[in-house]
Structure 1
Amino acid sequence: MRLTSQLLAALAAFSALPAAAQEGLEIIGKPEEGGLGFQPAVTELMRDIVWLDNMVLIIITAISLFVTALMAFAIVRFNRRANPEPAKFTHNSPIEVAWTIIPIVVLVFIGAFSLPVLFKQQEIPEGEINIKVTGYQWYWGYEYTDHEFGFESFLIGEGKVLNDEVVAELEAAGYTRDEFLLATDTAVVVPVNKTVVMTVTGADVIHAWTIPAFGVKQDAVPGRLAQLWFKAEKEGVYFGQCSELCGKDHAYMPITVKVVSEEAYDAWLKGAIDEYAGDPSTLPDAVKLASAE
């Protein structure tokens, strides 16, 4: 099955099949060497996370500076030379009340802004595109439930070593050597500005599906169904990786999502249905078992 997926990816790259849906797409969401901040935010969810992070950073910076200033004042004002006779009191009620109430106020203030951000992530809207995601050791299976087809997605470069053969595979799929360990042979394709709802589960151990630029992360737990949603606002290629330690090849379980125009998505969808829907062997293993039952 894995060999079949690799051959189909290479064939799509060389023959420009509609299922490729990659031509002209900018690679936006990926790790950058020396990067310190977040990846570009391309969803409302991620913009909320970035805003919340910046707000909390301001608050904790102010608290850290205030505490540092108090410590410096105490060191200067109450050292042995400046204060040879230490005070004998054991407590100060106003200060004790203040250092109890002020942190409570700060935490309530942060919570008043962070909880709505969390609730927005967990309140799943009606999906315009619905995809079931299944985590396996160590690859992903995707089923477009609205159209009853599915496929599996593997790391490009089975040997996990960057050599000429792997570079050729990457270039055949439309990537460069910089996308090694990030690119997959088959990508999730979704239209821009459409609400995508993903139902996430695991087939063997706990995995986690995440795309940092979308601000989404959901554990894939065997025997349970969980959901996430996003609405990508910019066309491009976005990368993620399994974010739950799941075994020896955890680091080699990338995720590739291509956000395309609605016209390109319709063309890809037609090609994907023709390519996958008529062949049950292209469905993820869990789907094949369900079909057999």
Structure 2
Amino acid sequence: MRKKIFTMLLLGLALLTQLFYGKQLFADSAEDWQLSFQDPATPIMEGIINLHHDFMFFICAISIFVSWILVRTLWHYHWKKNKYPSAMVHGTAIEIIWTVTPSITLLAIAVPSFALLYSMDEIIAPAITIKTVGHQWYWSYEYSDYTNDANDAVMFESYMIPEEDLTLGQLRLLEVDNPMVIPVNTHVRLIITAADVLHSWAVPSLGIKCDAVPGRLNQSSLFVKREGIFYGQCSEICGVNHGFMPIVVEAVSLPNYISWVANKLSE
């Protein structure tokens, strides 16, 4: 019995050591029964998560207060306890309170909301520009900053890998044959459009969701802070195969990115 308890303690200690001192893992794709956000990889996504957490304080406080008022009212003003209803129909003080207090709360919420909203629209001297085009039902990417001797830019199409071609460890309905590759710690500008119908280019870990509209060029920015593979999907119902055009962004170091571009230009 003592030996069994000692073994369990050792296993628990090993698990705690792995949790606190092991290599950090990131959830950059959706997980089963996931309720929280994916791990952020950009300053924008970090701001979105922090803003959500700040708002949750107000939401919980207001919910608890309103629930307390409702329960107290139902308990103390039940018809069995008050057979003769009150004739009071107006209260200036309470009306001022329940008008001014929500107004102040909304202002406190609005200030950080607008700050984050405008920072998402800001484009800071991009080092790389990538054109993303949505098709039925795949994505294509064009790196117009780089051309080969024939003056051809880096262009490729990104199709979902069928389930029967997946290898062990790959994610169903999320893997593609040609991911979009970008360097870390670099300002990247995305120009997003569509060739046929409405699409939406969305990657949760990067905090980006931008509509792809035929005939219109929308732009957004990326600044990825860590290496990794980030998964997203089209977020605009675009037809029968809407659920089969995933997005994969691979963030690599700058030397690896330069090697990738050189290989693409030599193809």
Band the TM-score falls in, shorter-chain normalisation: 0.7 to 0.9
Q: Does 1:230 align with 2:227?
A: no
Matched to 2:166, the amino acid is L
Which residue of 128, 142, 155 corresponds with 1:150? 155
Aligned to 1:9: none
Separation (CA, whole Å) in 2 of partners of 1:124 and 1:199: 11
Q: How many residues align?
A: 237
SS of the aligned residue for 2:97 comes to helix
1:17-71 CA-to-partner distances (Å, cap 9, x unmatched) read xxxxxxxxx8741111121100001110000000000111111111010000000
Which residue of 179, 186, 193 corresponds with 1:187? 179
1:244-283 CA-to-partner distances (Å, cap 9, x unmatched) read 11111111110011111111111111001112xxxxxxxx
Task: For structure 1, list consecutive stretches of 5 or more residues without a partner in the other structure.
Answer: 1-25, 276-293
Which residue of 142, 166, 173 corresponds with 1:170? 166
SS of the aligned residue for 2:215 comes to coil
**Are residues 27 and 69 of structure 1, via their aligned partners in 2, closer, same or farther at CA, if it must alter by over 3 Å?**
closer
Please tell me whether the aligned partners of residues 136 and 238 of structure 2 are also in contact (alpha carbons under 8 angstroms).
yes
Aligned to 2:266: 274
Aligned to 1:252: 244
Please tell me whether the aligned partners of residues 26 and 39 of structure 2 are also in contact (alpha carbons under 8 angstroms).
no
Quote the sequence identity (%). Answer: 38
Cα offset for 1:83? Answer: 2.1
Separation (CA, whole Å) in 2 of partners of 1:143 and 1:104: 47
Q: Alignment RMSD, CA only?
A: 1.3
Q: TM-score scaled by structure 2?
A: 0.86
Aligned to 1:20: none
Separation (CA, whole Å) in 2 of partners of 1:233 and 1:177: 24
Please tell me whether the aligned partners of residues 208 and 220 of structure 1 are also in contact (alpha carbons under 8 angstroms).
yes
Correspondence 1:192-231 to 2 at 5 A? 192-231=184-223
Aligned to 2:149: none
Separation (CA, whole Å) in 2 of partners of 1:76 and 1:183: 56
Aligned to 1:5: none
Separation (CA, whole Å) in 1 of partners of 2:198 and 2:29: 24
Cα offset for 1:196? Answer: 1.0
Correspondence 1:36-55 to 2 at 5 A? 36-55=35-54
Separation (CA, whole Å) in 2 of partners of 1:170 and 1:124: 37
**Are residues 109 and 219 of structure 1, via their aligned partners in 2, closer, same or farther at CA, if it must alter by over 3 Å?**
same
Separation (CA, whole Å) in 1 of partners of 2:194 and 2:90: 55
Aligned to 2:74: 75
Matched to 1:128, the amino acid is A
Cα offset for 1:178? Answer: 4.5
Task: For structure 2, list consecutive stretches of 5 or more residues without a partner in the other structure.
Answer: 1-24, 147-152
Separation (CA, whole Å) in 2 of partners of 1:211 and 1:127: 19
SS of the aligned residue for 2:139 comes to strand
Matched to 2:221, the amino acid is W
Separation (CA, whole Å) in 2 of partners of 1:192 and 1:28: 18
**Are residues 263 and 28 of structure 1, via their aligned partners in 2, closer, same or farther at CA, if it must alter by over 3 Å?**
farther
